[in-house]
């Protein structure tokens, strides 16, 4: 190869390699996203034509006595849904990853088993948990009875006070494998020398974890956090399969995804309203966007990836 270019030529190859991704991404992601945002500024008139109405749909979403309680209710429920994941799913994921990374018998087996629910379909997860928790045929009640706690059993999925947390925990069960694998990959990437050095200096296992390992996997903590945030505010499937689009009882499990679905596609006798649906979708986009921006500017800039 004797190519020694004299002048900097136009990098055609870059264009070629980028073109497929740029074209596909623009056509199937950016264009629909912008068109959906555009739609949220329109409303359908009585003659089935769309008219530009400015911010009217947003005003309606925030103030109308029909839409506003649903929107704020869905947002509140979505925050609860997210907090349960942050407080339960991610710490458990970290704990499991730490246990797996510490080695020992059956590590590969447990790694696979714990990750398995993640690859199952939502429909299967919803069906299985409906059966497990069913007050008629479920095993949950018999298990509780076997340990003498039968009186604690409630139809958790059907009660307004517990349905949302129950579904959140089912989702945690399903997705705990993802933070686990990410933390696990980060933990086994830590050089053995550092840990040995700490041990030589007299650090206990607890100290090694919190003083050496945890600071080194902080970037992964951020990634897991933002993945959870984006995933939770886009969630829809599990609630739809377990509770349907009306997200009962009495809207207690209604989150942004189900609100969007119900508004956009309609439900039973309620006809779909594409423009209000696009408004809800735009709000979901803004919420997720602001979350991602906070992560990028407040977290990612402070946390330094340690190169070793």
Partner 1 sequence: MRKHVVLAVLLLIALVLSACAQATPTQAPPAGEATQPPAAGEATQPPAAGGEKVTLIIESWRNDDLPIWQDVIIPAFEAKYPNIHVVFSPTAPAEYNGVLNSKLEAGTAGDLITCRPFDASLKLYEKGYLAPLNDLPGMENFTDFAKTAWSTDDLSVTFCVPMASVIHGFFYNKEAFDKLGLQEPTTWDEFYQVLDKIKADGTYIPLVMGTADMWEAATMGFQNIGPNYWKGEEGRLALIRGEAKFTDEPYIKTWQQLARWREYLPPGFESVKYPDAQALFTLGKGAVYPTGSWEIALFEKQASFPLGIFKPPVEKAGDQCYISDHVDIALGMNAATKHPEAAKTFLSWVASAEFAELYGNALPGFFPLHSTPVELKDPLAQEFVSWRNECKSTIRNSYHILSRGEPNLENELWRVSAAVINGTMTPEQAAQEIQAGLDKWYKPKP
The sign one gets for the Cα dihedral 49, 54, 57, 63 is negative
Q: Does 19 bind partner 1 (CB under 8 A)?
A: yes
Q: Does 246 bind partner 1 (CB under 8 A)?
A: yes
Span interacting with partner 1, options 8-16, 32-40, 192-200, 281-289, rule CB under 8 A: 8-16
Q: Does 136 bind partner 1 (CB under 8 A)?
A: yes
Contact indicator for 56, 43 with CB cutoff of 8 Å: yes
Q: Does 268 bind partner 1 (CB under 8 A)?
A: yes
Q: Which of 244, 291, 295, 303 touches partner 1 by CB under 8 A?
A: 244
Q: Does 285 bind partner 1 (CB under 8 A)?
A: no
From residue 26 to residue 55, the character string flagging contacts with partner 1 as x (rule: CB under 8 A) and all else as - is: ----------------------x-------
Cβ closest to partner 1, residue 213 vs residue 243: 243
Q: Which of 1, 6, 9, 104 touches partner 1 by CB under 8 A?
A: 9
Q: Is 15 left (phi over 0), alpha (psi -120 to 50) or beta?
A: alpha
From residue 96 to residue 135, the character string flagging contacts with partner 1 as x (rule: CB under 8 A) and all else as - is: ----------------------------------x--xxx
Q: How far is the CB of 297 from partner 1 (least distance, A)?
A: 36
Q: Does 139 bind partner 1 (CB under 8 A)?
A: no
Residues that bind partner 1 (CB under 8 A): 9, 12-13, 15-16, 19-20, 23, 48, 65-66, 130, 133-137, 153-160, 243-244, 246, 248-251, 267-271, 273
């Amino acid at each position: 190869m004797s190519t020694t270019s004299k002048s900097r030529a136009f990098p055609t190859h870059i264009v070629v390699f980028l073109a497929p991704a740029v074209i596909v991404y623009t056509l199937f992601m950016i264009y629909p996203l912008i068109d959906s945002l555009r739609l949220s500024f329109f409303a359908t008139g009585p003659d089935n034509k769309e008219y530009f109405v400015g911010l009217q749909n947003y005003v309606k979403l925030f103030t109308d006595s029909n839409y506003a309680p649903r929107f704020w209710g869905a947002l509140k429920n979505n925050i609860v849904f997210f907090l349960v994941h942050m407080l339960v799913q991610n710490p458990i994921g970290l704990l499991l990853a730490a246990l797996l990374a510490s080695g020992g018998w059956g590590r590969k087996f447990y790694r696979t088993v714990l990750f398995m629910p993640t690859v199952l379909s939502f429909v299967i997860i919803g069906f299985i948990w409906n059966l497990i928790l069913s007050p008629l045929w479920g095993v949950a009640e018999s298990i509780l009875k076997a340990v003498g706690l039968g009186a604690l059993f409630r139809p958790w999925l059907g009660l307004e006070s517990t349905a949302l947390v129950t579904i959140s925990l089912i989702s945690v069960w399903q997705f705990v494998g993802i933070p686990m694998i990410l933390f696990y990959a980060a933990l086994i990437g830590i050089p053995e020398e550092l840990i040995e050095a700490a041990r030589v200096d007299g650090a206990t296992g607890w100290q090694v974890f919190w003083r050496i390992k945890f600071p080194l996997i902080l970037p992964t903590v951020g990634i897991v956090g933002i993945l959870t945030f984006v995933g939770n505010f886009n969630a829809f499937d599990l609630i739809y399969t377990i509770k349907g689009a009306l997200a009962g009882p009495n809207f207690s499990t209604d989150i942004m995804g189900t609100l969007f679905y119900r508004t956009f596609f309609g439900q039973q006798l309620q006809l779909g309203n594409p423009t209000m649906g696009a408004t809800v979708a735009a709000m979901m986009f803004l919420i997720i966007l602001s979350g991602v921006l906070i992560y990028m500017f407040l977290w990612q800039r402070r946390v330094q990836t340690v190169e070793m």
